[in-house]
Structure 1
Amino acid sequence: MHEGNDLPEGRGVWVRKRRKGIYILPNLFTLAALFGGFYAIVMAVNNRFELAAAGVFCAMVLDSLDGRVARMTNTQSAFGEQMDSLSDMVSFGAAPGLIAYMWALQGLGRWGWIASFVYCACAALRLARFNVNTGVVDKRYFQGLPSPAAAALVAGFIWLMTDAGVRPGEDGRLSWDSITWIMFAFTLYAGLTMVTNVPFYSFKDLQMKKSVPFAAIVLIALGIAVINIHPPIVLFGVFVLYGLSGYVVYAVRKSRGQQTSVISTSTDEPDERGLHQ
């Protein structure tokens, strides 16, 4: 007798088929990032917006690690890639849009949920385009603002305001109506910038396994110290600068007559090329 998943090989020899599995280590980081996005949504529902923003930032850190861990341990897989995209959609698409709506945008009525939906839809489109164009995009740049950075713009502004004691419905130095429209602008800017062709530096050409000058370690230590001065202000400022950097690169390339598209090779689908001019 032999089990149903055995295959004959030669005369009288039966070989059990090897069952396909998934790699645990990188997918644990992906699941942890997904939990960060889910936690952010739960905290927003409970009106704990500072914790909701922190959940998004924790998801960002974990999302940056899963791919590196997979490459370092040689455990890349198609399953992991799909899992990462689905996790990103929750943590950097649905969660920031919902947090922004519940914190301020619901006061704008239909304009508020439209802005939240535009952000969420653009995150989905950006992730889908990234998956399709993986093989043809210059690895040094992202095509459009990456979704974690877009989420950092939205969640970072909320974190900054809540840290400063700004509460929904309360007027301080700025009226709550002004803050609501600023949130509206950040949400639309982050969402629409994700689906542009503007190049954003990806930092993927930095090799972690190579030796670096001693001064580089000193600069990293200084960077950590600066962040700890006031994390909400420093981190939000860093992501605002990054969110503008792509347009600066685009303008410089345009002024010099250089190619502004990050598509490095042609695709097999002729209709795709027209999207990247």
Structure 2
Amino acid sequence: MSPEDEEPKIYLLPNLMTAGNLLCGFLAILTIFKGMQEESLLAAMPSYQTAMLYIFGSCLFDLLDGRLARMGGQESPFGQEFDSLADMVSFGLAPALLVSRAVLADLEVVTPFDPEGSGITWAFAFIYLLCGGIRLARFNCLARIGKGGRDFRGIPIPMAAGFVASLTFIIIKFHEEQRTLGWGAYVLAAMILGISLLMVSNVRYPSFKKIDLKTKANVWTLLGTAVLLGLIMNFKVYAPAVIFVFYLLIPVFRWFKKGKKVGELES
């Protein structure tokens, strides 16, 4: 085997999309750091809002790189590893910072070791980051031995990051209206812990890998998509969170549908 054959194959267009993913993640982290310099969450909101847009941009690039690679038959080990590294920055580190500085900003658990009560938010952020890293490593291992399957094992990290970003939108809205979360802060902490554990769970989530330019749709699908886009435009603050929660609950819908079919067969 010649040295040229041993070199990893680097396809331009898919990896260019991955580079765009990484760039958006990097810019998101920079803007979050800028917001952290402000004296209050209200003053940091413009920076955090910009960071959320960068994270959503990373989601778009992440969606495109895989689609382009599969459509052009350009999937490669290099692209897979590069994609995971970019995901760790864009969907691991950047959302983890948002968890600590924005989503759980109202969570305070004062202890003798942490008089200001801010350390607990970093703990939740690290749990999210750790679970995201494990999720990506497991995905690569399963893909390498050909056990990826049609569904994801555990919620994919881009969806988890989108959920965190959508929660940040709601938190910012509450603070703009000078409303306090109260016990809602502990509910958010439980949600962050839950989304972290779901990433490393064996719960099956649809991958939508088969959807491409050749995928056919009926009239109801087109109508539903149009209505969904309309709702997003009219309810910009809450619609993204509702969409991500719906994706989170897909395994529940599947379980209910499967149980209903079993009941019909038994009857």
Place the TM-score, normalised by the shorter chain, in its bin: 0.7 to 0.9
Alignment partner of 1:142: what SS? strand
- The aligned length equals 237
Indicate whether 1:245 and 2:250 are aligned: yes
More helix by share: 2
Q: Bigger shift: 178-187 or 35-44? A: 178-187
Alignment partner of 2:237: what SS? helix
Equivalent residue letter for 2:207: S
Cα gap change, 1:104 to 1:231, in 2 (>3 Å): closer
Cα gap change, 1:111 to 1:249, in 2 (>3 Å): farther
Name the structure 1 match of 2:52.
53
Q: CA deviation at 1:216?
A: 3.9
Q: CA deviation at 1:171?
A: 4.8
Name the structure 2 match of 1:35.
23
Indicate whether 1:190 and 2:195 are aligned: yes
Aligned with residue 142 of structure 2, among 123, 133, 143 = 133
What pairs with 1:1-277 in structure 2 (closer than 5 Å)?
A: 20=7, 22-47=10-35, 48-105=47-104, 108=108, 109-134=118-143, 135-139=146-150, 141-162=151-172, 164=173, 166=175, 171-172=178-179, 175-250=180-255
- State the Cα deviation string for residues 198-226 of structure 1 (Å, max 9, x = none): 11122223353144445544443333222
Question: C-alpha distance in 2, partners of 1:31/1:255?
Answer: 45
CA RMSD of aligned residues (A): 2.7
Question: C-alpha distance in 2, partners of 1:180/1:124?
Answer: 25
Cα gap change, 1:253 to 1:128, in 2 (>3 Å): farther
Q: Bigger shift: 67-76 or 189-198? A: 67-76
Alignment partner of 2:205: what SS? strand
Structure with bigger gyration radius: 1
Name the structure 2 match of 1:263.
none
Contact 1:100 1:183 in 2 (8 A): no
Q: CA deviation at 1:249?
A: 2.9
Contact 2:91 2:158 in 1 (8 A): yes
Alignment partner of 1:200: what SS? strand
Question: C-alpha distance in 1, partners of 2:24/2:184?
Answer: 26
Name the structure 2 match of 1:13.
none
Name the structure 2 match of 1:266.
none
Contact 1:199 1:249 in 2 (8 A): no
Question: C-alpha distance in 1, partners of 2:124/2:163?
Answer: 14
Q: CA deviation at 1:241?
A: 1.4
Question: C-alpha distance in 1, partners of 2:249/2:139?
Answer: 20
What's the TM-score, normalizing by structure 1? 0.75
Give structure 2 stretches of 5+ with no counterpart: 36-46, 109-117, 263-267
- State the Cα deviation string for residues 60-110 of structure 1 (Å, max 9, x = none): 111011010112222222111110000111111111011111225465333
Q: CA deviation at 1:195?
A: 0.7
Contact 1:57 1:152 in 2 (8 A): yes
Q: CA deviation at 1:231?
A: 2.5
Contact 2:103 2:188 in 1 (8 A): yes
Q: Bigger shift: 248-257 or 113-122? A: 248-257
Question: C-alpha distance in 2, partners of 1:197/1:251?
Answer: 18
Question: C-alpha distance in 2, partners of 1:218/1:243?
Answer: 23
Matched-pair identity in %: 32
Contact 1:31 1:87 in 2 (8 A): yes
Q: Bigger shift: 146-155 or 201-210? A: 201-210
Cα gap change, 1:243 to 1:216, in 2 (>3 Å): closer
Give structure 1 stretches of 5+ with no counterpart: 1-6, 8-15, 258-277
- State the Cα deviation string for residues 221-268 of structure 1 (Å, max 9, x = none): 3332222112231111100111122244356657978xxxxxxxxxxx
Contact 1:32 1:59 in 2 (8 A): yes
